[in-house]
Amino acid sequence: MIQYSSYIAFGFLGFQLCNVLINFLFRQRIPKTDGQNDELLSVLIPARDEEANIGNLLEALRNIKNDRIEIVVCNDHSTDNTEGIIRKYAENDARVRLVQSDDLPNGWLGKNHACSQLAHQAKGRYLLFLDADVVVLDNILADVVSYSKRYKLGLLSVFPTQITASTSEKCTVPLMNYILLTLLALIFVRVSPFPSHAAANGQFMLFDAETYRKLHPHEQFKNSAVEDIAISRYYKSKKIKTACLTGEERIRCRMYHSLKSARDGFSKNIFMFFGNVPVLAFFFWTCATFGIVPVLINNRHLSLPYLSVMVLVQVLYALTSKQNVLATVLCFPAYLFFMLQVMIRALKNKKKKNYLWKGRNIYS
């Protein structure tokens, strides 16, 4: 049995290495353009209690000199100064428009409802949904539209380069990229016809508006806490071209500012990385954490090569996702410990069906 465990450990590490190597070698980049859209782009931002973030995003958008965009922000019953900040920018930039969210209907989650309302307000040929904690720089908006046109995409999603300012962020936030880039070769999202090769990040999702209005994806998955992945799979099942990229330095995000907020945030969606099958998530964690043990017992002479490949996997996914390589390698044990905490928390939330996010139960 221990000998078979060695085979599993080597197989798992080999699987990770193949995926991360493909992601590194076939990194998809968004070419720079002249910075102007031929057609109107609607930038759509759902915002609930985002006074700490929304100003940074709107300031970044104001610095983008592009008249072919409209910026529509949905104030989703915020209890802080979110609305006041939006109004201030709307007064000084004609492209910015504030809309107030309707009351949340039964069967909807708040963000999905806000996104659906924003889509109804949008006038653009392309719809770009941005989370309020994202910042976009330079000419990236025109560039993503050009990229989407080039590949005739119905959906383009980007995992932003993550800003990790504190020690707790460095030990937690990169976990997302570790799981993503060692589980899935992102090039397959664009070139493979299989819905299983789907990925997306709700922080940055660019839709072809015509296709969106035919399918109403946020309405289709109105009660899903991981609507981004569900929408990506749905689009692929409809034979609509999609793409998912990472490592774009002109799209940045500081997701969480503390260990608690990171644990709470990741516990909403960690199992969706594994097809919403918790046992697969725990299998992944077990192999990543204890795979070296059967190697040390049965194949001691291969333990150094095994550890070297483990480190190589960390280096490659750090380079691909624009993370600090040394910090990634040193913090790897912390990622695994954090992942266990997140999975346990996610199981408890699933069992109780009572998990509040921004004052709302995401399991209702």
Q: What is the pLDDT of residue 226?
A: 86
Name the burial class of residue 66, with classes exposed (0-12), middle (13-18) and buried (19+) by CB atoms within 10 angstroms of its CB: middle
pLDDT digits (tens, 9 = 90+) for 69-97: 999 999 999 999 999 999 999 999 999 99
Question: Which residue in 128, 264, 125, 94 sits closest to 204, CA to CA?
Answer: 128
Count the Cβ atoms, other than its own, within 10 Å of residue 287: 18
Question: Which residue in 164, 123, 141, 120 sits closest to 57, CA to CA?
Answer: 141
Domain with CATH 3.90.550.10 in the chain: 41-169+176-256
Q: Is the pLDDT of residue 353 over 80?
A: no
pLDDT digits (tens, 9 = 90+) for 229-247: 999 999 999 999 999 999 8
Cα–Cα distance between 99 and 118 in angstroms, integer? 8
Q: What is the pLDDT of residue 355?
A: 61
Average pLDDT, the chain: 92
Helices (H) and strands (E) in the chain, counts: 16, 10
- Percent of the chain, pLDDT > 90? 78
Cα–Cα distance between 180 and 250 in angstroms, integer? 20
Phi, psi of 50 (to 5 degrees): -120, 30
Q: What is the pLDDT of residue 264?
A: 86
Question: Which residue in 263, 266, 314, 30 sits closest to 157, CA to CA?
Answer: 30
Instruction: Report long-range pairs for 148-152 (Cβ below 8 Å, ≥24 apart).
Output: 148/206, 148/208, 148/243, 151/190, 151/241, 151/243, 152/241
Q: Is the pLDDT of residue 262 over 70?
A: yes
Q: Is the pLDDT of residue 362 over 80?
A: no
Specify whether the CB–CB gap between 96 and 58 falls below 8 A. yes
Q: Is the pLDDT of residue 16 over 80?
A: yes
Q: What is the pLDDT of residue 113?
A: 96
Here the tokens at position 73 are: 């922000």
Q: Using 50, 70 and 90 to split pLDDT, how confident is the model at 198?
A: very high
Count the Cβ atoms, other than its own, within 10 Å of residue 335: 23
* 3-state secondary structure at position 59: helix
Q: What is the pLDDT of residue 111?
A: 94
Give the fold, CATH level 3, of 41-169+176-256.
Answer: Spore Coat Polysaccharide Biosynthesis Protein SpsA; Chain A (3.90.550)
pLDDT digits (tens, 9 = 90+) for 26-76: 999 999 987 677 899 999 999 999 999 999 999 999 998 877 899 999 999
**Ramachandran sector of residue 134 (left: φ over 0; alpha: ψ -120 to 50; beta: rest):** beta
Report pTM.
0.93
Q: Read off the pLDDT of each residue in 342-363 and give the average, rounded to a whole number.
A: 75
Q: What is the pLDDT of residue 281?
A: 96
Q: What is the largest CA-CA distance in the chain?
A: 69
Cα–Cα distance between 66 and 37 in angstroms, integer? 8
User: How far from each other are the two terminal CA atoms of the chain, in whole angstroms?
Assistant: 44
Specify whether the CB–CB gap between 71 and 61 falls below 8 A. yes
Question: Which residue in 47, 228, 194, 202 sits closest to 132, CA to CA?
Answer: 47
